[in-house]
């Protein structure tokens, strides 16, 4: 079977994948719970529903995406017809992370298959139940020469990176992303790197504070804070800081009760190493709320800490857990000073009713994507590109952006033979004057 050129085959295979995911949806939810007690609602909202929606959208639009696109010809090439062909790269490696192990395995895989590529998927070893199920669904859906999942630890990933690929798609930390980019450079392999960063969340004094607190608590503590686009720290205007902290506490209790440990809606930390890293971060701080932890359960409660030092250990790297530092600012100069100390983030959030302030923030700061008066939800719109910039990554995907990421755009000009203008051919003689005159008309 020619995987690269048969559009019908691509659609039929993706339809088979859609069917198999629906068949296994309850198994997927169960596997995510086994790996880190992810609530069923979050598993459906942030994992299975996003993949199913993307599959349906891709199947519906694949033929139009894959069709050659006519573009206007240049007068210099008259008469001609010019087209852009979407050509698959070939053999693609997808390395998926552990925090959304189902969604972030299948979204790039769907785009790569839709574009006509063959795929090797390396799921995360930190989520063994989900990764095993991902592998099972792939075996039930694809020919082994088309798509295959390779299970194993970081040494397996390193072995895969030493091979020659036509495209590499990696989701994970910035540190590992650099290693992937270095390995890809050995063969000049193009890459997409979906990384992370210190995602700021700015709360202006004009913001609707109660609503802002609810949306921030949801976006931050979903999946126990283990989300690459979660707010990493809060910058709250000093005039509303104390009031806002009270509102955050109220919303945490509204979401997870007086004892989040007993809540069925609060996930756990992925493993003991990450738990120890996070608890060590909390230890030196004045805890404003939460701060409780239980190692046997890999539990850390939703935690707010007071932060004054932008050079602290907590503020130097991506937190990736249910710990939220709260900083105060007096003016936009202070915001600028704080944000300039970090690389370009994967996400930025601003809560404000001040239109001018909103526009200044959006114009001045570079970031992968974000929201005004909400958090995280920009990820859910497949019509928006998702990706980082600078240290938070390169490249983009979701919907047609994913199809384009895994497609080489091949330019083709078809020249007619019924007319051949001699101007371009040597000997040139005095043709230069005529060329300048012609160029002046356009």
Low-confidence ranges of the chain (pLDDT < 50): none
What residue segments make up the domains of the chain, in order of their start? 7-195+389-410, 200-380
* pLDDT tens digits, 101-114: 999 999 999 999 99
Note the helical H segments in 90-127.
103-114
Q: CATH assignment of 200-380, given 3.40.309.10, 3.40.50.1100, 3.40.50.300, 3.40.50.12780?
A: 3.40.309.10
Q: Residues 313, 319, 323, 329: what is their CA dihedral angle, to the nearest 10 degrees?
A: 70
Integer angstrom CA distances of residue 372 from 377, 393, 418: 10, 22, 57
The residue from 42, 47, 194, 251 that is catalytic is 194
Q: What is the pLDDT of residue 163?
A: 97
Q: Is 194 in the active site?
A: yes
Task: Tell me what pLDDT residue 3 has.
Answer: 57
Distances (CA, A) of 315 to 51, 336, 425: 33, 16, 64
Is the CATH code 3.20.20.70 the one for domain 7-195+389-410?
A: no
- Do residues 276 and 299 make contact, with C-beta atoms less than 8 angstroms apart? no
Q: What does the pLDDT look like over 29-85, one tens digit per residue?
A: 999 999 999 999 999 999 999 999 999 999 999 999 999 999 999 888 889 999 999
297 in catalytic set:
no
Which pLDDT belongs to residue 251? 98
Q: What are 247-282's pLDDT values in tens digits?
A: 999 999 999 999 999 999 999 999 999 999 999 999
Residue labelled with tokens 């790569």: 112
Nearest to 3 by CA among 203, 142, 124, 167: 142
Catalytic residue among 42, 47, 201, 228: 228
Which 3 state secondary structure label does DSSP give 242? helix
Cα separation of the two ends of the chain: 48
Beta strands in 101-232 (DSSP E): 118-122, 147-149, 167-171, 191-194, 200-203
């Amino acid at each position: 079977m020619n995987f690269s050129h048969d559009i019908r085959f691509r659609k039929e295979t993706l339809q088979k994948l859609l069917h198999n995911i629906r068949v296994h949806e309850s198994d997927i939810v169960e596997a995510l719970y086994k790996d880190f007690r992810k609530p069923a609602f979050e598993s459906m909202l942030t994992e299975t529903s996003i993949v199913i929606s993307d599959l349906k959208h891709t199947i519906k639009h694949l033929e139009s995406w894959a069709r050659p696109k006519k573009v206007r010809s240049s007068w210099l090439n008259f008469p001609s017809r010019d087209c852009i062909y979407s050509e698959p790269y070939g053999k693609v490696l997808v390395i998926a992370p552990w925090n959304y192990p189902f969604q972030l395995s299948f979204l790039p895989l769907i785009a790569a298959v839709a574009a006509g590529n063959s795929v090797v998927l390396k799921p995360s070893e930190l989520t063994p139940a989900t990764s095993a199920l991902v592998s099972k669904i792939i075996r039930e859906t694809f020919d082994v020469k088309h798509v295959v999942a390779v299970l194993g630890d970081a040494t397996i990933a390193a072995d895969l990176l030493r091979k020659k690929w036509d495209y590499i798609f990696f989701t994970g930390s910035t540190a590992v992303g650099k290693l992937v980019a270095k390995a890809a450079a050995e063969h000049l392999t193009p890459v997409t790197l979906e990384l992370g960063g210190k995602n700021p969340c700015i709360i202006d004094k004009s913001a609707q504070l109660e609503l802002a607190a609810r949306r921030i608590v949801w976006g931050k503590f979903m999946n126990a804070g283990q989300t690459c686009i979660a707010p990493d720290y809060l910058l709250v205007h000093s005039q509303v800081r104390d009031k806002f902290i009270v509102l955050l506490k109220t919303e945490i209790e509204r979401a997870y009760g007086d004892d989040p440990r007993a809540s069925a809606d609060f996930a756990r930390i992925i493993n003991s190493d990450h738990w120890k890293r996070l608890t060590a971060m909390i230890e030196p701080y004045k805890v404003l709320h939460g701060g409780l932890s239980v190692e046997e359960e890999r539990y850390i409660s939703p935690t707010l800490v007071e932060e004054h030092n932008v050079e602290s250990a907590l503020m130097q790297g991506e937190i990736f857990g249910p710990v939220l530092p709260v900083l105060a600012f007096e003016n936009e100069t202070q915001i600028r000073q704080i944000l300039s100390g970090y690389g370009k983030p994967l996400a930025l959030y601003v809560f404000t009713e001040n239109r001018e302030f909103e526009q200044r923030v959006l114009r001045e700061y570079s970031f992968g994507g974000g929201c005004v008066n909400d958090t995280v939800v920009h990820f859910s719109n497949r019509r928006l590109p998702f990706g980082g910039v600078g240290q938070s990554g390169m490249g983009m995907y979701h919907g047609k952006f994913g199809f384009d990421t895994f497609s080489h755009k091949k330019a083709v000009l078809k020249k007619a033979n019924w007319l051949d203008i001699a101007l371009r051919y040597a000997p040139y003689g005095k043709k230069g004057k005529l060329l300048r005159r012609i160029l002046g008309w356009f």
